[in-house]
Amino acid sequence: YNLRPFDCPLPVKIVMIFSEYMQRNYQNKFYGKAQNLVQHLTREYNRILKDYDVIVMPTLPAKAFKLPSKEHSVYETLKLELDMIRNTAPFNATGHPALSVNAGLSEGLPALPCGMMIVGRMFDDLTVLQVARAVEKTFWDYPK
């Protein structure tokens, strides 16, 4: 990103600018608070995963929508893009292994892809991959 910053997608640019602003004006105050919240979130997911091998949930919290066009404002574009990561972003922070597999198409037109997210215990990537493979073999008849 340092060599060609103008090639970065808009959300990446905004995050980079916001991060720089927060660092210059607040040092690590809010970063520290965020890390404390991540620890709490990690504990809660670990608590749930004591009783279950994986958590299965929609990749997106709502029906998929068309990607923003150039006619959308920066605010509208960012809001749409941030709404798409509400279910996935927590695991970027906690480090739990997670992946999304094809769950078919939404009803109605246009039919848009739906994803099934599979989340596993810390350091148990293998179980997540095995569940994903079982889903693919069961529902999509991928090669055995």
**Total structural domains in the chain?**
1
Residue 87 has pLDDT above 60, yes or no: yes
Domain around 80: 5-140
Separation of CA 37 from chain center = 17
Binned at pLDDT 50, 70 and 90, residue 83 comes out as confident
pTM over 0.85: no
| pLDDT over 70 (residue 20) | yes
pLDDT at 1: 58
Dihedral pair phi/psi, residue 60, rounded to 5°: -105, 145
